[in-house]
C-alpha cells in the first residue's frame, strides 16, 4: 500500500499561493506587498481550477506563483519596508507623548530612501528590453506631467515627470527619431523609432483635469515612481549615445515664464573648450548609425543579414523594393513592403519654413512636431511665453502661419500707394501661407507637405485618418472613392432610392404643371366666350336676300356635312390605313411629350421623362436584382454542400468566421451608406436643395 499524500503538498495546490499567505510569508503589510509586486513585475495568476488550488472551503480570488513569492524573499527592499514600519512606530510613540520635535527629527533623519536601480537592471538586462517597455512609461509620465497638483499628486512629482518628458522630447528633436502622430479624442498619439524599436505613447490634451474619487492614486504613484527611474536611465543612455551631457541644463526661471522646451539647454560632451566640435562629431556619427539601423530594419530578414556594412558609416538610401502583384483579382491584396522614413527625410520636411503659431493653436505639440521634423524657426505670441520665441507675427521672414479661426480677410490697400494701410490683427499678410493645425499632422503622416489650400482658414478639412490603421479587403476605406467600394446590391439599392426620389419630384412637378395648365385652359375658355359675344363670326341662315350670302351658306353646309361624316366614322377596315393611323397616334404622343418638356423648361423645372422609359428602367432594375438574388442563392447552396463534407470542428470555426465577416460587412455598409448620403446632400445643397423640397423651393423662387 502506497503512502498517502497530504493535501496541498504537490500538484497545482503547491504551485500557487494566495495573497494572504504571501503577505504572511513576507511579513509586510498589504500596501507594501502591492508596491513590491509592481516594482518587481510580479502579477496575480489565474489557475485552471480554483477548487483544486484552494486549501479552504471558500475559493480565494487572488493567486500568485509560489516561485515568485520565494523570489521576493531575497529582495533588499524588504528591509527598507521593515525600517519604514519601525520608523512609523517611533513617530507614533513620540506624537503620543506630545514630543513633536522628536517626531519631526525622526522623520527627517531616519526615513529610509528607496533606490530602484538594481530592479531596473534586473528587469531589463539589455537596453533594447527597456525600450520595448517604454510605451506605458511614457503614457503614464505624460499624464502626470499634465495633472494639477493636489494632495494625492504633489508638485514635486509633477515637476519631475515634466522635466523627464521634456528631456525625452529634446532627444527626439535632436535625432529626428519621431515618425508619426495622430489626433484622437483621448489625446495625441506619437510614434518614434529608436534603435529599431517602435515606441507609441499617448499625451493628453492640456485641458483642466478633474480627478475622480474612484481613482487609486497610490497604485498610480507607485507606477510613476518606477517609471521615473526607468526613464532617467533611458534618457542618460540616449543622451550619451549622441554625445550630449546628461542631465542637461534646466532654467527654472525660463520655465516659469512659459519657455517649455526652450527651458532646457543641451550641452555637448568635450574637454578643453572643444565641447561644440566634439558634440557635432558625436552627433553626426550616431545619426549615421541610427540611419543605418533604420535601413536594416526596413529590409527583410534575409536581405538584412546579407547587407554589406559600409566602411564610412554612410547610409545608402537608394534601396528599391520589389512590388508584388496578385494573379487572382478576387484574392486578398498583398501588403507591399515600403521603406520607413529615416532621420534624413524627417529632418528635411519643414526645414525651409519659418512658422508662426497663433494664440489659439496648441503651442507645445506644434512646436515639438515642427522642430522634430526639421523646422528650426518657430515663433509665437509673446503672451504665450517670450523666452524661446524666434520671431513676432509681423516678421517678414515668416512663410507659414498656423491659425485655428475663421477665414481671415486681406488688408485694404492704401489710397496713395498699393500697400496695406494699417493691417488689423485679424487680417492676412500678403505672401504668407495660412494653414490650420491639421496640416502639420497630415504632412508628417504622409511624409511630404500637403496642399495648403485644402487646409486654409475656414475650409472644410480632409478626414484625419490614423496612420496605423490599414483597411482590409471588403472593409470601408475613406481614402478610396465610393464607386470603387460599393457592391452590386448597394448600387442597385441606391439607384432604386434615387428613382423613387425622381418619381416624387416628377409627381410634384406634374402637380404644379397641371395647376398651370388648368389656369391657362380656363383663361382660354373665357377668351373664347368673350369672342363669341363681341367679335364672333355671324352665321347667316337660309332665306337671305344676297346671292353671295347663299353661296357662302352652301359652302358652309358642305363643310359641316364633311365634318359630320368624319365624326360618324367608326374605323378602318384596311390594315395599311390602320398602321398609318397608329403612326399618327405615335407622332401625336411624341409631340405631346415634347410639348410637356417645353412647358417644363418654360417653368424652370427638370424635364419629365416619358412613363415608358421609367417603366423600362424599373423593369431593368428588377431583372438585374433577380439575377443577383439567383446568383447569391446558388452560391449559398454551393457553400452549404461544401460544409456538409467538413468535420464538425472546422465547420463551427468556419461559421464563426463567416459571422464575424458579416458583422464587419454590415459596419462597412453602414459607413458607405452614410458617406453616400453625405455626398448626395452636398450635391443637393449646391443645386438649391434635393428632392421634392428642392423643386418646391425652386418653383417658389420663380413665381
The Cα diameter of the chain in Å comes to 156
User: pLDDT tens digit string along 616-660?
Assistant: 666 666 667 777 788 888 888 888 888 888 898 888 998 898 888
Q: How far apart are CA 410 and CA 427, in angstroms?
A: 5
Cell, residue 47: 489557475
- SS3 per residue for 104-160: HHHHHHCCCCCCCHHHHHHHCCCHHHHHHCHHHHHHHHHHHHCCCCCCCCCHHHHHH
Candidate CATH numbers 3.10.20.740, 3.40.1800.10, 3.20.20.70, 3.40.50.10190; the one for domain 348-409+427-469: 3.40.50.10190
User: pLDDT tens digit string along 584-596?
Assistant: 545 555 665 666 5
Please answer whether residues 599 and 513 qualify as being in contact, where contact means their C-beta atoms are separated by less than 8 angstroms: yes
Q: Classify residue 543 by burial, with Cβ atoms within 10 Å: 0-12, 13-18, 19+.
A: exposed
> Is residue 15 scored above 50 in pLDDT?
yes
**What pLDDT does 590 receive?**
61
Tell me the average pLDDT across 108-121. Answer: 91
CA 495 to chain CA mean position, Å:
30
Please answer whether residues 175 and 108 qualify as being in contact, where contact means their C-beta atoms are separated by less than 8 angstroms: no
DSSP string, 482-549: GGGT--HHHHHHHHHHHHHHHHHHHHHHHHHHHHHHHHHHHHHHHHHHHHHHSS---PPPSS-S-HHH
Query: Residue for cell digits 515568485?
Result: 68
> Is residue 695 scored above 50 in pLDDT?
no
Query: Residue for cell digits 478639412?
Result: 461
**What pLDDT does 613 receive?**
64
8 vs 638, higher pLDDT: 638
> Is residue 540 scored above 80 in pLDDT?
no
pLDDT level of residue 417 (50, 70, 90 thresholds): very low
> What backbone torsions phi and psi does residue 203 show, to the nearest 5 degrees?
-115, 120
User: pLDDT tens digit string along 281-322?
Assistant: 444 445 555 555 555 555 554 444 444 443 333 334 444 455
Cell, residue 441: 499632422
Query: Residue for cell digits 513576507?
Result: 26
Ordered by start, the domain boundaries in the chain are: 12-109, 117-301, 348-409+427-469, 490-511+609-703
Residue 268, beta-bridge partner list: 244
**What pLDDT does 167 receive?**
95
72 vs 305, higher pLDDT: 72
Cβ atoms within 10 Å of 648's Cβ, excluding its own: 7
Greatest mean pLDDT among 353-362, 417-426, 477-486 lies in 353-362
Greatest mean pLDDT among 92-96, 247-251, 491-495 lies in 92-96
Tell me the average pLDDT across 454-475. Answer: 85
Helix/strand/coil for 97: coil
Tell me the average pLDDT across 10-36. Answer: 90
Sign of CA dihedral 647, 649, 654, 656: positive
**Bridge-based pairing state of the strands 378-380 and 355-357:** parallel
CA 489 to chain CA mean position, Å:
28
**What pLDDT does 92 receive?**
93
Closest CA to 192 of 348, 342, 362: 342
User: pLDDT tens digit string along 169-217?
Assistant: 999 999 999 999 999 999 999 999 999 899 999 999 988 877 777 888 9
Query: Residue for cell digits 519604514?
Result: 84
**Bridge-based pairing state of the strands 188-194 and 197-203:** antiparallel
**What pLDDT does 416 receive?**
40
pLDDT level of residue 324 (50, 70, 90 thresholds): low
Amino acid at each position: 500500500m502506497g503512502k498517502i499524500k497530504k493535501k496541498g503538498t504537490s500538484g497545482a495546490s503547491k504551485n500557487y499561493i494566495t495573497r494572504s499567505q504571501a503577505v504572511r510569508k513576507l511579513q509586510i503589510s498589504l500596501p507594501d506587498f502591492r508596491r513590491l509586486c509592481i516594482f518587481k513585475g510580479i502579477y496575480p495568476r489565474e489557475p485552471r481550477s480554483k477548487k483544486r488550488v484552494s486549501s479552504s472551503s471558500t475559493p480565494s480570488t487572488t493567486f500568485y506563483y509560489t516561485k515568485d513569492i520565494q523570489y521576493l524573499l531575497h529582495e533588499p527592499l524588504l528591509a527598507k519596508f521593515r525600517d519604514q514600519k519601525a520608523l512609523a512606530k517611533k513617530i507614533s510613540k513620540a506624537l503620543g507623548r506630545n514630543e513633536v520635535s522628536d517626531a519631526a527629527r525622526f522623520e527627517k533623519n531616519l526615513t529610509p530612501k528607496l533606490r530602484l536601480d538594481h530592479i531596473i537592471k534586473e528587469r531589463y538586462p539589455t537596453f533594447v528590453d527597456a525600450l520595448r517597455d517604454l510605451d506605458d512609461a511614457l503614457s503614464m509620465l505624460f499624464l502626470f506631467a499634465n495633472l494639477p497638483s493636489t494632495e494625492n499628486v504633489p508638485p514635486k512629482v509633477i515637476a519631475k515627470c515634466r522635466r523627464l518628458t521634456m528631456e525625452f522630447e529634446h532627444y527626439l528633436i535632436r535625432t529626428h527619431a519621431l515618425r508619426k502622430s495622430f489626433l484622437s479624442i483621448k489625446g495625441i498619439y506619437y510614434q518614434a523609432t529608436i534603435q529599431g524599436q517602435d515606441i507609441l505613447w499617448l499625451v493628453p490634451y492640456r485641458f483642466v483635469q478633474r480627478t475622480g474619487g474612484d481613482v487609486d492614486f497610490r497604485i498610480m504613484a507607485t507606477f510613476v515612481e518606477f517609471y521615473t527611474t526607468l526613464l532617467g536611465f533611458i534618457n542618460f543612455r540616449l543622451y550619451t549615445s549622441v554625445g550630449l551631457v546628461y542631465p542637461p541644463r534646466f532654467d527654472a526661471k525660463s520655465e516659469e515664464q512659459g519657455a517649455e522646451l526652450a527651458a532646457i539647454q543641451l550641452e555637448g560632451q568635450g574637454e578643453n573648450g572643444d565641447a561644440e566640435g566634439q558634440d557635432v562629431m558625436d552627433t553626426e556619427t550616431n545619426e549615421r548609425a541610427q540611419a543605418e539601423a533604420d535601413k536594416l530594419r526596413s529590409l527583410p530578414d534575409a536581405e538584412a543579414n546579407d547587407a554589406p556594412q559600409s566602411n564610412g558609416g554612410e547610409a545608402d538610401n537608394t534601396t528599391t523594393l520589389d512590388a508584388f502583384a496578385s494573379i487572382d483579382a478576387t484574392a486578398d491584396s498583398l501588403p507591399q513592403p515600403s521603406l520607413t522614413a529615416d532621420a534624413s527625410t524627417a529632418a528635411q520636411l519643414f526645414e525651409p519654413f519659418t512658422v508662426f503659431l497663433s494664440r489659439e493653436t496648441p503651442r507645445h505639440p506644434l512646436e515639438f512636431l515642427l522642430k522634430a521634423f526639421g523646422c528650426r524657426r518657430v515663433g509665437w505670441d509673446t503672451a504665450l511665453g517670450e523666452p524661446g520665441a524666434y520671431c513676432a507675427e509681423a516678421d517678414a521672414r515668416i512663410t507659414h502661419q498656423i491659425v485655428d479661426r475663421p477665414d481671415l480677410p486681406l488688408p485694404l490697400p492704401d489710397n496713395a500707394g498699393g500697400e496695406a494701410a494699417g493691417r488689423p490683427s485679424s487680417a492676412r499678410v500678403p505672401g504668407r501661407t495660412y494653414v490650420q493645425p491639421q496640416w502639420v499632422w497630415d504632412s508628417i503622416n504622409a511624409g511630404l507637405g500637403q496642399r495648403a489650400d485644402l487646409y486654409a482658414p475656414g475650409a472644410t478639412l480632409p478626414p484625419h485618418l490614423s496612420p496605423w490603421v490599414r483597411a482590409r479587403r471588403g472593409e470601408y476605406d475613406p481614402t478610396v472613392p465610393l464607386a470603387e467600394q460599393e457592391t452590386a446590391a448597394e448600387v442597385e439599392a441606391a439607384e432604386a432610392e434615387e428613382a423613387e426620389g425622381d418619381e416624387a419630384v416628377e409627381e410634384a412637378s406634374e402637380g404644379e404643371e397641371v395647376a398651370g395648365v388648368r389656369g391657362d385652359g380656363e383663361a382660354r375658355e373665357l377668351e373664347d366666350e368673350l369672342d363669341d359675344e363681341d367679335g364672333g363670326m355671324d352665321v347667316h341662315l337660309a332665306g337671305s336676300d344676297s346671292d353671295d350670302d347663299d353661296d357662302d351658306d352652301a359652302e358652309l353646309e358642305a363643310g359641316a356635312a364633311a365634318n359630320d361624316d368624319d365624326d360618324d366614322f367608326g374605323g378602318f377596315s384596311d390594315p395599311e390605313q390602320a398602321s398609318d393611323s397608329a403612326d399618327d397616334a405615335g407622332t401625336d404622343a411624341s409631340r405631346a411629350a415634347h410639348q410637356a418638356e417645353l412647358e417644363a423648361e418654360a417653368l424652370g423645372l427638370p424635364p419629365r421623362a416619358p412613363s415608358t422609359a421609367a417603366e423600362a428602367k424599373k423593369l431593368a432594375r428588377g431583372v438585374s436584382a433577380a439575377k443577383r438574388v439567383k446568383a447569391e442563392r446558388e452560391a449559398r447552396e454551393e457553400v452549404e454542400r461544401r460544409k456538409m463534407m467538413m468535420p464538425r470542428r472546422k465547420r463551427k470555426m468556419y461559421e464563426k468566421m463567416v459571422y464575424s465577416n458579416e458583422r464587419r460587412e454590415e459596419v462597412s455598409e453602414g459607413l458607405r451608406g452614410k458617406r453616400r448620403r453625405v455626398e448626395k446632400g452636398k450635391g443637393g445643397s449646391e443645386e438649391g436643395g434635393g428632392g421634392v423640397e428642392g423643386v418646391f423651393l425652386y418653383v417658389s423662387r420663380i413665381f
